[in-house]
Chain A
């Protein structure tokens, strides 16, 4: 055992592998095998072991993240699932918010629920908001339902009863009956999966958990046993959407927490870069083939939230997916990637995405039959991507096909030259990303100006400098192994678990500190059990937050609480903390209005060693370019010759003035005129805006 760590991130096209061992980082990419994703991991692991000389016994940790659960939700390939809900509410998961997310399209459809109406059953029972039983659970009626479930060969059941976040008794009793009568059926209880007020979100989350549970449970079981056969005896941890690692057992109980683990890994990487480089305010920018993800990172930690939407099916639009209430790293994801397709609308405006050419047929320049112009085609035309050295030279791109597609779909409609049309495509996609970042910041009450942009993923470094200019950002960092950023991030994630409880509290004379202490004791016990499975001896950090609002508002903001235990003085302290947070978000407070709490959370995290501070920038050196290439300059609007460097040939201290191109196998960094790029002591490219 030499304490090597391995991370595997299964994406739609590639499975990324990262290995750290005695301070060294090894990464590789292998193709994802959709029908047997674990096979892709084994291949990658064998390749990593072959190239590093490590054996299975050398590893002390394997971290895994996968899009498998997300894909099952998007493609609707989960288990045959039934729902048992309080009688009278079987349509709650289908009525959703009773609204349309797109105002002018009379043909829009709402996302169909994961469980069709015929498998949603009402159970006679009722509990009120205080937890008092109004109608006892009718266990006789349950007997008939069990026959139905058996008859329809139901594989998974989601149970959601009204106010179960406050009074879980009926749900637990139902769960016990099902476990006894249908031992092969996996059961998800809403009071365990997502114990929060708001029946639609809680039940939607629970249904999604049940829907992916059989698939994920089998997959994780196979993965774990086959890793064992390969000689791995170290623990396997799963990356969660909240940025913490979970044990195999927790992952099998709550597989819904595994969605969006890849993007979470990227945000963790960016947060680590922020701490390493001593940056308080960072904007992380992750751009791949289909989407771009943007995340705010303050004081070295990504923004957290418990609100997420999976499987958006209408132009990536908010509201067109299924809501999940799980701990997530808060980020905005937009349909803007290398494969995003450009078109011209009736108003002669260029649109880019969210439609994507995907990996097949891919951008026009791939020569695989794609004839729609994409962002990658624009980048080829603008000289940002070298068609002869794409993906480390493993793939030849055809610039003439890019030009042809851009001409026919954009240039001709607007009477623009190929170059201008390509510039238009890149400007629009960058503007889309800039606008998404701005809106995201407004929603969080944050300012973007003055942040450092941390760029990773295959496409981010191509667009980062221009995006920074649009956002008034003066510094851009492209960390090492940017192309497999999520897998690298996995290796830096702590074991963690978050527990939430909805307990309504008005901060007036009715405030009950004793009850709150009891609630937090219970939450701590629950979290400790789960964290201890994966990190038995770790030092633990506990963070508590309360979701608060002025009485009568509809949106809460999360406020960090002081450590417990509490007495009655917490009431005024909480009001003060809320008003400070509210003022920070909305630039004002509203004296005289009562404050209320909807939810209480507790996050328990094993400590992670902080990165060593990045040493100061070494003395400047001037590297020799490997060659010259035409690169479009957005300020002058013309192609001009720019020097090309290989990143792996640069040494710390190397200083390059834009315009310049820094190429590596997995991505290319474009240094625009006005920027100076330097390779810092740990090998990150740091671009600084020096002014035009």
Chain B
């Protein structure tokens, strides 16, 4: 212990280079963007903003480097919002920005991947000087066009397209923007409300930043920003340098739409970072499951970070160590005017592909494949809204239901997968009672799907079964956006595949995995969601866990016997002799 009185560094709070002071300011900056995001969540209208945390908020230095980003529910904005700030600065140099200016866009290629996401940028002035930039993104409930479906053939069908432009000039909101949005979307009050929310949360964050700069008596963010970016870059590189250098490959085939899609990755781990290139992946689809590069980058980066450096915050320093590329014109770098409305169906698969590369590099450190894409319930009904005889719809109640649901995740090293849980997206479902109170839909069944989790030493998470119908005698529209039907999540290291998904009518007809379809009057829709892949040989699974799974009904007695090599007596105990024969055969 040094003598406090002769402490060589005796004045930590007043030393601007003091690590304590820099840390406190860094923590405060993160708190500012968390508050920015929270404000957006609390005031947002779109289900995906408030329940799925489908939004983003961040602070940038005046050169456009992201210093802090709120941790929100979906990875889709990791780095993509940061890229959009560069596009804003290219179009509107900071010298031309005035206090009270606000900029916006929903450009899928310069924003966050589809027209439903608006990104707002607000320059933050303090005492007349530009000190920082705040950006925020959220998903709006409607953007005109065909809506959130795969049905569009070009971006022009997918809705209103607002290029990079001003939302407000020196504090005065441009009424023309509001009028254009109002005239083009189905829920103008809510959408315009969300635009105001985006502007408001940036404003609030700017005020909080200025208060912080007052408290710590700093005139700019240069030194703090430099500290954050250096520390984060070094921490990310330290983590990367613990991995074996080399070039690793993985590919995965998914259902796609008109034909299966191959996602092919080459990962290069080097001393200066990780590069992932998607050369070899399929070309674009004719429908809206294509992914702009910004969104490919977001999900691929998220996958790398989960395994390599989960604790390092997202900012320009840490994110610069992970670089993502894909050839132009591939499904992972779709070019304008390709349709991209539901790019998440494809993008959400990318962490599994990245995990495959890391599995090759690291061995048993990554999960098996999971359902990965959401299995959302998206249905609507009422006159004029369903492709059916108008006479059948004359008395039908108008409704729209959107609730987020999930299959199983892949088994994890040392742990089973999570059943009916979203990954990589971070969504929350809508309670069945709320869905039923707001619409004529009724859900008859929503429970785990037995034997859907891939068998393994660690079992994949189970999918779930949902059955639903309309309480009134009318057809309704069901919009499917599902994958992993023909190509189930694969197991790793000897683990079995999870069960593929199914979708059909109780009367026997099969429905398409993607696209809007009409459900005839009186029919019940049955959705069986995929289970995650297993990890390791099922015959090595701890027998006690197999017994527990069987007792809970997560696996059948037959699966215990056939897949896990565990024979059970009628009262659920292990038949030791028979098991020995099964396991040591």
Write the residues of chain A forming the contact surface with B, with a CB cutoff of 8 angstroms. Answer: 87-92, 94-95, 97-100, 103-107, 109-110, 116-118, 126, 128-129, 134, 162-163, 165, 197-201, 345-350, 400, 403-404, 407, 414, 416-420, 423-424, 427-428, 431-432, 435, 438-439, 442-443, 470, 472, 504, 550, 552-555, 585-588, 590, 592-593, 630, 634-639
Q: Are B51 and A199 in contact (CB under 8 A)?
A: no
Q: Are B431 and A199 in contact (CB under 8 A)?
A: yes
Q: Which residues of A contact B26 (CB under 8 A)?
A: 349
Determine whether B35 belongs to the interface, using a CB cutoff of 8 Å to chain A. Answer: yes
Shortest CB-to-CB span from B143 to chain A, Å, is 16
Contact (A554, B9) CB under 8 Å given A95-B464, A438-B31? no
Measured between alpha carbons, how far is A103 from B231 in the docked complex, in Å?
Answer: 22
Measured between alpha carbons, how far is A333 from B12 in the docked complex, in Å?
Answer: 29
Q: Are A348 and B24 in contact (CB under 8 A)?
A: no
Q: Are A91 and B446 in contact (CB under 8 A)?
A: yes
Measured between alpha carbons, how far is A438 from B205 in the docked complex, in Å?
Answer: 13
Q: Mind listing 8 A-B residue pairs with CB under 8 Å?
A: A95-B419, A98-B422, A100-B426, A104-B305, A417-B9, A438-B31, A443-B42, A472-B211
Interface residues of B in 410-444 (CB under 8 A from A): 412, 414-415, 418-423, 426-434, 436-437, 442-444
Measured between alpha carbons, how far is A356 from B28 in the docked complex, in Å?
Answer: 23
Shortest CB-to-CB span from A292 to chain B, Å, is 16
Q: Which residue of B lies closest to A590 (CB)?
A: B193
Shortest CB-to-CB span from B519 to chain A, Å, is 18
Q: Are B311 and A345 in contact (CB under 8 A)?
A: yes
Contact (A97, B447) CB under 8 Å given A346-B238, A438-B35? no
Q: Are A553 and B426 in contact (CB under 8 A)?
A: no
Determine whether B20 belongs to the interface, using a CB cutoff of 8 Å to chain A. Answer: yes
Q: Are B232 and A347 in contact (CB under 8 A)?
A: yes
The 7 closest A-B pairs by CB, nearest first: A88-B445, A104-B310, A637-B11, A117-B552, A97-B428, A129-B437, A424-B20
Q: Are A91 and B442 in contact (CB under 8 A)?
A: no
Q: Are A99 and B464 in contact (CB under 8 A)?
A: no
Q: Are B428 and A99 in contact (CB under 8 A)?
A: yes
Q: Are B38 and A439 in contact (CB under 8 A)?
A: yes
Q: Which residue of B lies closest to A424 (CB)?
A: B20
Interface residues of B in 517-554 (CB under 8 A from A): 551-554
Shortest CB-to-CB span from B185 to chain A, Å, is 14
Q: Which residues of B contact A635 (CB under 8 A)?
A: 13-14
Q: For B14, give its contact among A106, A128, A428, A637 (CB under 8 Å).
A: A637
Measured between alpha carbons, how far is A587 from B42 in the docked complex, in Å?
Answer: 12
Q: Are B426 and A103 in contact (CB under 8 A)?
A: yes
Q: Which residue of A lies closest to B309 (CB)?
A: A346
Number of B residues near A (Cβ < 8 Å) is 94
Q: For B23, give its contact among A87, A129, A424 (CB under 8 Å).
A: A424
Contact (A91, B448) CB under 8 Å given A435-B27, A443-B42, A586-B42? yes
Q: Are B235 and A347 in contact (CB under 8 A)?
A: yes
Q: For B421, give its contact among A98, A348, A349, A593 (CB under 8 Å).
A: A98
Contact (A100, B1) CB under 8 Å given A347-B231, A420-B12, A593-B190? no
Q: Which residues of A contact B453 (CB under 8 A)?
A: none
Measured between alpha carbons, how far is A472 from B214 in the docked complex, in Å?
Answer: 12
Q: Which residues of A contact B239 (CB under 8 A)?
A: 346
Q: Are B50 and A555 in contact (CB under 8 A)?
A: yes
Measured between alpha carbons, how far is A403 from B35 in the docked complex, in Å?
Answer: 36
Q: Are A118 and B553 in contact (CB under 8 A)?
A: yes
Measured between alpha carbons, how far is A573 from B420 in the docked complex, in Å?
Answer: 43
Shortest CB-to-CB span from A474 to chain B, Å, is 14
7 new A-B contacts at CB < 8 Å, known A89-B447, A419-B2, A428-B24: A107-B415, A347-B313, A350-B20, A431-B28, A435-B28, A552-B187, A588-B200
Q: Are B200 and A117 in contact (CB under 8 A)?
A: no
Q: Which residue of B lies closest to A200 (CB)?
A: B431
DSSP majority for the A interface?
loop
Q: Are A420 and B7 in contact (CB under 8 A)?
A: yes
Shortest CB-to-CB span from B474 to chain A, Å, is 16
Contact (A118, B551) CB under 8 Å given A98-B421, A417-B7, A428-B23? yes
Measured between alpha carbons, how far is A200 from B433 in the docked complex, in Å?
Answer: 9
Measured between alpha carbons, how far is A103 from B20 in the docked complex, in Å?
Answer: 27
Q: Are B427 and A98 in contact (CB under 8 A)?
A: yes
Determine whether B154 belongs to the interface, using a CB cutoff of 8 Å to chain A. Answer: no
Measured between alpha carbons, how far is A116 from B552 in the docked complex, in Å?
Answer: 8
**Which of B8, B24, B47 is the most central at the interface, judged by chain A CB atoms within 10 Å of its CB?**
B24
Q: Which residue of B lies closest to A402 (CB)?
A: B1
Q: Are B7 and A349 in contact (CB under 8 A)?
A: no
Measured between alpha carbons, how far is A636 from B406 in the docked complex, in Å?
Answer: 55
Q: Which residues of A contact B42 (CB under 8 A)?
A: 442-443, 555, 585-586
Q: Are A117 and B428 in contact (CB under 8 A)?
A: no
Q: Are B4 and A639 in contact (CB under 8 A)?
A: yes
Determine whether B576 belongs to the interface, using a CB cutoff of 8 Å to chain A. Answer: no
Q: Which residues of A contact B180 (CB under 8 A)?
A: none
Measured between alpha carbons, how far is A573 from B425 in the docked complex, in Å?
Answer: 41
Q: Are B418 and A443 in contact (CB under 8 A)?
A: no
Q: Which residue of B lies closest to A97 (CB)?
A: B428
Determine whether B91 belongs to the interface, using a CB cutoff of 8 Å to chain A. Answer: no
Measured between alpha carbons, how far is A129 from B12 in the docked complex, in Å?
Answer: 62
Q: Are A128 and B420 in contact (CB under 8 A)?
A: no
Q: Which residues of B contact A104 (CB under 8 A)?
A: 71, 305-306, 310-311
Q: Are A88 and B444 in contact (CB under 8 A)?
A: yes
Q: Which residues of A contact B11 (CB under 8 A)?
A: 636-638
Q: Are B19 and A403 in contact (CB under 8 A)?
A: no
Contact (A110, B50) CB under 8 Å given A198-B431, A420-B12, A439-B38? no
Q: Which residues of A contact B436 (CB under 8 A)?
A: 128-129, 163
Interface residues of B in 155-199 (CB under 8 A from A): 187, 189-190, 193, 196
Q: Which residues of A contact B347 (CB under 8 A)?
A: none
Shortest CB-to-CB span from B87 to chain A, Å, is 26
Q: Which residues of A contact B193 (CB under 8 A)?
A: 590, 593
Shortest CB-to-CB span from B336 to chain A, Å, is 30
Measured between alpha carbons, how far is A64 from B50 in the docked complex, in Å?
Answer: 39
Q: Which residues of B contact A109 (CB under 8 A)?
A: 415, 418
Measured between alpha carbons, how far is A333 from B370 in the docked complex, in Å?
Answer: 35
Measured between alpha carbons, how far is A416 from B311 in the docked complex, in Å?
Answer: 23
Could you mark each residue 385-412 of chain B with 1 if its beta carbon is under 8 Å from any beta carbon of chain A, else 0? Answer: 0000000000000000000111000001
Shortest CB-to-CB span from B467 to chain A, Å, is 8
Q: Which residues of A contact B31 (CB under 8 A)?
A: 435, 438-439
Q: Are B431 and A552 in contact (CB under 8 A)?
A: no
Measured between alpha carbons, how far is A504 from B435 in the docked complex, in Å?
Answer: 12
Q: Are A198 and B427 in contact (CB under 8 A)?
A: no
Q: Are A198 and B429 in contact (CB under 8 A)?
A: no
Q: Are A134 and B232 in contact (CB under 8 A)?
A: no
Shortest CB-to-CB span from B325 to chain A, Å, is 23
Determine whether B39 belongs to the interface, using a CB cutoff of 8 Å to chain A. Answer: yes
Contact (A420, B9) CB under 8 Å given A107-B412, A431-B28, A593-B189? yes
Measured between alpha carbons, how far is A442 from B7 in the docked complex, in Å?
Answer: 40
Q: For B4, give its contact among A129, A419, A590 (CB under 8 Å).
A: A419
Determine whether B361 belongs to the interface, using a CB cutoff of 8 Å to chain A. Answer: no
Q: Are A88 and B447 in contact (CB under 8 A)?
A: yes
**Which of A95, A105, A638 is the most central at the interface, judged by chain B CB atoms within 10 Å of its CB?**
A95
Q: Which residue of A lies closest to B432 (CB)?
A: A199
Determine whether B34 belongs to the interface, using a CB cutoff of 8 Å to chain A. Answer: yes
Measured between alpha carbons, how far is A591 from B430 in the docked complex, in Å?
Answer: 26
Measured between alpha carbons, how far is A350 from B19 in the docked complex, in Å?
Answer: 10
Q: Are B23 and A349 in contact (CB under 8 A)?
A: yes
Measured between alpha carbons, how far is A105 from B31 in the docked complex, in Å?
Answer: 20
Shortest CB-to-CB span from B13 to chain A, Å, is 5
Determine whether B10 belongs to the interface, using a CB cutoff of 8 Å to chain A. Answer: yes
Q: For A91, give its contact among B18, B414, B464 (CB under 8 Å).
A: B464
Q: Which residues of B contact A590 (CB under 8 A)?
A: 189-190, 193
Q: Are A588 and B196 in contact (CB under 8 A)?
A: yes
Determine whether B218 belongs to the interface, using a CB cutoff of 8 Å to chain A. Answer: no
Q: Which residues of A contact B367 (CB under 8 A)?
A: 106
Q: Which residue of A lies closest to B30 (CB)?
A: A435
Measured between alpha carbons, how far is A126 from B9 in the docked complex, in Å?
Answer: 71
Measured between alpha carbons, how far is A587 from B207 in the docked complex, in Å?
Answer: 15
Contact (A117, B554) CB under 8 Å given A128-B471, A424-B23? yes
